[in-house]
Amino acid sequence: MTEGVEKAPRAGDADGYPLFADGDSRGVNPAMQVDAEEKEVIGIITGLGFEYLPDDKTDLVFRRLPDGRPWPPPASSKRIFPRAHARPLLEQFGGKIEEHPAVAGLMIPSRGYVELICSRLEATAARRAFRLGNDELNCSHSEPNAALPSLPYPWPDEGSGESAMRIHLSGDSGEPCVEISNASPLAMLLYGHMSEGARIRLAYPRFPFLATMKLSYAHAADPAWLGRNSQEIATSLSYELNVRNDVIVELDARSVLPDLLTGQWAPAVSSKIRYPRTRVQHEVAVLFGFASQAADDPLQAFLCYYKALEYFFPLAVRKSAFKQVRQEIQDPAFDLASDASMLRIVKAAAGPTGTREVYQLRALIKEYVQESRLDEFFQCNWGSYFTRHGPIKDVPHIDIRDEKILAEQVADRIYQIRNRIVHSKADSRWARVLLPRSSESNALTPDVLLVRLLATEAISIG
């Protein structure tokens, strides 16, 4: 769990400037005329693992320090926050800010507050959802000054100004209130993105739309309990919004490998286009192309690459059978008059046909994938990813020092991942289903790259 900070006290000098290891208050430039509220905001945000960058009179600009903190997302280390909204941001503080244990989002347990990021809920779909009917508010949030924090947004057809639209469901009997609306100032700073271009084009600060699901409990809560309970309620609401209201709200699990360098290995890319030399079957080309476009959906990408591989299973099995038959015939001990010799021929020819899929996959990798390609792939620094301590559970690990043939290790792992994606049997004898948007699926990229490599090799030879 990521350590948070409390509103007071906090580390700082006598004037409230955040101090650094060398005693310098370089986080704040006095020439920027930072007021007391902004100093307090800067002190708390730097405690979350950010460095304040003196910028201009309009914005507070922070940069994430490279210390493994969960926010912001790895795509951008810079956070831009208009100074005009410093007070609403400051009002959210007052307790330790923690990362949600399972879902992308934050918690303030001392306030019983949770805010989860709703992925794939764009402004257009959200506006339709906000116009759906719901029960009248029956909670403390019915008062305007007690509403859950949500930044305004310029909704089309809602006038020329900005407003805060929301779905708010009042809790009762100990249940929390639940709301879907634009992000709070804190969530926008940690997870949103206000681009440099927007700062230049707009004469006033305008935030993007970042839908979040907020849960407000009437009491402080234990962080572990708060994480479990909020996830259960959020997941249930997402399901009902889907089946009852045709509103798709997804919650993304936080990645368990924020610092994994998947860029250690990448497919070779040429700077020169050529006339195609590889004739690819239409079905295989479509599957491979779709997988390559599903970068944000690792499970879909994995399955499509796997299906491209499946196309060559019969060919690989046949090739393997031919090889075994030829080996038997060329054996000096082979005798046409011997029933035992003929039985070995029959077994070699018939054995691979109709065998379990994992053995077909093994045959394909042995026949169509160059061993040097696999060696090159696993020589890269994957950390602990492919070991028994890796993030993908209930699948065989890869050990290049193992006596077991590398091709067989790869086949067994790929096949088991495939099973975890396509099967969801409620039986402890089976491996748990690999869920979309889970921490495991978010960390699946190295295995996606591996099955892509296998598919490329099979296409080239097959």
pLDDT tens for each residue of 352-366: 555 688 888 988 998
Q: What angle do CA 279, 284, 288 make, to 5 degrees?
A: 105
Q: How confident is the model at residue 25 (pLDDT cuts 50, 70, 90)?
A: very low
Burial of 334 (0-12, 13-18, 19+ CB in 10 A): middle
Better-scored residue on pLDDT, 279 or 5: 279
Q: How confident is the model at residue 201 (pLDDT cuts 50, 70, 90)?
A: very low
- Specify the range with the lowest mean pLDDT, choosing from 59-68, 291-300, 381-390: 59-68
Task: Write down the pLDDT at residue 255.
Answer: 61
Task: Write down the pLDDT at residue 23.
Answer: 36
Give yes or no for residue 386 having a pLDDT over 90: yes
CA separation for the pair 147, 393 (Å, rounded): 42
Count of beta carbons in the 10 Å neighbourhood of residue 328:
18
Q: Which residues pair with 214 in a beta bridge?
A: 115, 179
Query: For residue 78, which phi and psi values (nearest 5 degrees)?
Result: -95, 135
Q: Which two tokens stand for residue 258?
A: 């924020």
Give yes or no for residue 262 having a pLDDT over 80: no
Q: How confident is the model at residue 319 (pLDDT cuts 50, 70, 90)?
A: confident
For CA atoms 390, 395, 400, 403, the dihedral sign is positive
Better-scored residue on pLDDT, 295 or 377: 377
Provide mean pLDDT across the span 127-151.
87
Give yes or no for residue 52 having a pLDDT over 80: yes
Amino acid at 217: Y
Give yes or no for residue 34 having a pLDDT over 50: yes
Maximum separation of any 2 CA atoms in the chain, in Å? 100
Give yes or no for residue 410 having a pLDDT over 90: yes
Q: What angle do CA 80, 25, 91 make, to 5 degrees?
A: 50
CA separation for the pair 3, 348 (Å, rounded): 61
- Specify the range with the lowest mean pLDDT, choosing from 208-212, 394-398, 404-408: 404-408
Better-scored residue on pLDDT, 96 or 319: 96
Provide mean pLDDT across the span 374-391.
89
Q: Which residues pair with 78 in a beta bridge?
A: 63
Task: Write down the pLDDT at residue 349.
Answer: 64
Are 445 and 417 in contact by the 8 Å Cβ rule? The answer is: no
